[in-house]
Chain A
Amino acid sequence: MIEKIQALWPEIALFVTACVVMVIGLSPSAAVRRLCGVVTGLGLLAAGALAYTTPAVNPALPGLALYGKAMVAGIGLVLLLLASGTVDREYESFLARGGEGAGGQGRAEYEPLRSTKGEFYAFFLFSLTGLMLTAGATDLVWLFLALELTSLPTYVMVTISSGRDRSMEAGVKYFFLGAMGAATFLYGFAMLYGGTGTTSLGGIANALAAQRAAPGGQINPIAMLGLVLSVVGIGFKIAAVPMHFYTADVYQGASPSVAGFLAFVPKAAGFFALLSLCAAVGWGPTGDTLAEPLRSVLWVMAALTMTVGNALAVVQTSLRRVLAYSSVAHSGYMLVGVIAGPGPAGGGTLMTSGVAAVLFYLLAYGLTNAGSFAVLGCLERVRPDGQAEELDSIEDVRGLCQDRPLLGWALVLSVMSLLGLPPLLGFFAKLPLFGAGLNAGEYALVVVLALNSAVAAFYYLRVAAAAVLEPGQVGRGPVSVRPTTARWRPMAAFVSAAGVVALAIYPVTGWALFGARQGADARSEPAQRAAAEPALPSDPHAASVGATPPAPAE
């Protein structure tokens, strides 16, 4: 019992913080309610520090828990900067709009949005708790509960994030499709239990290995069906095609801060789960291929996800839909790493480990993506009738580098990094995916990956070109885009932009990559090594991914 609790200190910290925040949020004093964000941040910091006590729990992927939790705490801080003030600000603009859709009467007394502030932060923390639990899951039941703990709060967050009807619709769509996804993988988990006789991931790994070693050498059909259904269901969490349909509508319907949250948190949970499951199956005795037909299913999903996601993003005029569909495409890239697996036994460079590539990509994507949504959240458009609405179209960022250089260049850095242009962080994330795919012999998939990366240039460059090349709008007629009142959100954009650059500079890149490598390593004892090293206080992201200098053996 006590060992299990030891593995859960960060989650416990987050959970306690969530409860505290909920209580604070009920305070009649606005000054106390305003502490919610600060307390949430402190909780995340504590969780990040405690993450280093995480022991290796999952025998198949011992490093995953430590890396995952540290990363979640680090990126959670950026997401918190992004999310701060969401509900309050939305409420103010809702009031300013005269409360369209609600008749405009009787709202002065009843203020549900005001009262949801504490809950908003609590939901935020609950979801991150779920994400951390997913990283440390050792059991199917645990995994299911963790995945759902990650998702359930987000349904509410989408709905309350803005006062518009559109976010209601987004929430409803998201919930229905999400429930179906959850049902699918729950069904899969049940079948997996039926096929192996255990819910423990380690036990499942042993059972499947025994089934493969037996004469005939086949995984029990029931177990295999369970695996396939689980993967398809988890596809919803990572927005893989064909479970991706909700993304654009939801990201556009929710406020940018929540959309940024959605683009990372459920996706990371899905990938943690996928990696845990695939590690239980094993990438074959030589570490090269997953069992069929699991590999084929993942393969088809990866190719479809990359292609459809990019194709959909190309034609969008709404910046948020572009980011939504590109987040689909990014999941497809990461699936290549999942298929490639941890590489040949004995390791080698990071270029051979698809698992490490996925873990590093998650970090890079989470950080960069938060930045791009933060820039969106920092701006609002003024309609001709004088009312403000959220930024949406690519047209709205025209000339941003001239009008608001800091935000503009933060956006440009973000999209360039998402595109994977060197020497930004995104390049260092995409490169190992290429390498791992090639080393695993997945040439066709790597070609699809390269083609899709080229297609991605179409829309990312459109955003960057609009911001850099187009003339500014200030001083030319009425200003249609202005900064919002959210005070902390620009910080999220700047922190993300700084991270995108800083993580690409020696020696921080090495630390981050080393962290990812450790996270993927099945043979070392990352917890002990990492615990021996002090965390870097200056850069929370570098610190969050295992601030351990490269060992000579790497």
Chain B
Amino acid sequence: MGVDLPAPAASGHIDLPADGSGTLGDERIGAPLEYVRLRLLSLIDRLSDTLGEHAGPLLLAARKQLEERFCRIAVVGQIKAGKSTFINALTERPDFLPADINPWTAVVTSMHFRNSPARPEYAGVFHLFSRDQWKELADGGGRLRELTQQLVPGFQPDLLRAQLEVMRTRAERRLGARFGELLGKSHQYKDLTPQLLADYVSAGEDSSAAAKRQRKIYSDITRSADLFFNESPFAYPVTLIDTPGTNDPFMVRDEITRRSLETPDIYVFVISALQPLSAADISTLRLLNGLHKDRIVVFINRVDQLPNPAANAAVVKTAVEKRLHLEFPTLQIPVICGSAWMGNLRLQARDGDLHASLKPAQVKALRQAGLLAPIDAAPAQFSTAEQSRVAVAMHVNSGMREVATAISGLMCTSGIAMLLRQITVCVAELVRSADLGNRAELASINELLEARRREVSALRDAIGEEQKSLGGFEERTGALHNSFQAIEGHLDRLVSSASQSLRHQLCNQVRLFADEQAQALIEGSEADPAAKAWNCDVVPLRERLLETYVLSFEQAAGDLTRVEQFLYPQLGVIVASLLPGYSGNLLEAPAWPENAAPAVAPLSDRVSIALEASGWRRWFRGRPDIDDRAAGLRRLIEEEFFRIADQLVVTAEKGLGERVEHVTQRINAISAGLRIGIERRTANLAKERALLDGIGDATSLQRFEIEQQQRADECLRNQDSYSSALREVATVIDRLDAAHGETPVQ
């Protein structure tokens, strides 16, 4: 690796912190959110005891979300951009994922960084393709293959087929008779070794070397890998996803990556400084842009390999930012220059392990940069001071700190932050309504005791009063519950009518385009009967579909917002009449983020119509009749794109459904809180009644009085704990607001 390090520190290019200690005191990634997560977990623990069974399912669901929903960060980029090396540097595990001259990562690898002192049950779990999944891949993606054959008699997507054949025979040869049994299995390991990674995840290992080591190579049939870790630079639990590179001539890996792009919260897009933002990079970015509007960090890697790193990196960065702004004028994408290689060097220096990894030319470069003592002969070991200097300088120059800060910032505005906020709001609604019920209960106990002190008839009256008041309360709560259900129904109907209209519009676009293309084909053939080729460009159709999709989604989202804005004040009136003094958030309609249209991944599906020129020529030759050609073309376009339209509709439905879900969760929290109060009061009333019937029994009366006093005390204790819970919730919300506001705007 040819390394040109930045100019010596004296000229100011290497930015050394004053203490030179090698630790830069950085906050761990996602620390503000982790603070919130832990506070919420402990709050939920305390509330589970106080709130009783009605709140149980809600609190359990919230706890599950908090414990299991990791922040998902995908690392994407072209082949050999340095994704795996970048992950090693970011997770502070030098040499964990191997770097290789050929594309190495063949399998989507999820690295789960938990935040728990307990050792994970397994260190690695590898999922192998099931027979069906394998067949789909081996047959060239079932439907794609079928359509391709229908499209062009005798035409084969030669390359993909050949590659899949290679994969299959290689897997069968490597795994022998067990091949069939293995499909669909998962393999679990307590300890991870580099060998295991090579066997399951590597594309690069050649079989002769493996045979020498007597190992089974599973990577051809491994669908995904899950690796588990405890220690990491992440404060918040994170799943880091390493993907096979895009723009790989081995199309199978490209396809696997595209399918894994949908779920992450944040993307780190690694590009090479040597060929920054090629056309392939831009098309990946467009795909990402469609998936998640603004959760992208661009890392320009391999800056150390530029002829003159300090000067060239600035030029490259400016060019990349300019290009990004041109392509995505509304996006604020942080762009960071650096070198994952330097990031790893820093870790090796920090661990006192520098010498092993350096080549003479690199030692020389570090000497010239003034980081190592200027001694000509290579010493057996570098001094602690030298290693620490290198560690600090490499950390600063690797760009890893900036990446960590950018990721941390994006986390605070990501789906994770929204989820935490949603859980907090839910808990608040629950506590507030329980608090109100509790206050009503306390008031009624006090009245009962008071009446008891006066005389029996007054007690009877008071019980009657309580019965009446509780009856009214129950009735209004029931009414509230009904209107909640009506709202749910209304919102559901809204979503289903929106998706119907979306489907209709998308299909119309497809039909229109198919007609246009068929017409153009006929006209073209008539104008030039000797023509030997035809080209059908489906990009305009994709663009029209995208436009229709985004417009329809925004329209539906707007409809939802209008309904919410109308409904919430009404709800507010009902709740206020039921619970005077209620001051929950329910009275305000929630604010939704702008441009919230969900993923458009189906639009990037590979379609058989996007044939290369030679494919079209063959197709053309196979159909001499003009009308036959036109009809065939129309059918092809419709079949392919109706399927894509269907997938888009499903995605839109899901996106709208999530919003409806959010509303219903909140109103359910209120209902649950109210029901807690009703239940307690009902139970109490029954007891009072029994007592009243057996009146005159001095001991039971005395016991009644003691019980009432105990209940009153409990109510007072609850009141305290509710108030403290509400204060806690306010702190958490403040913290979330602050984290959101701190997000660096570049």
Chain B binds chain A: no
Q: Which residues of B approach A to under 8 Å, CB–CB? A: none
Q: Which residues of A approach B to under 8 Å, CB–CB? A: none
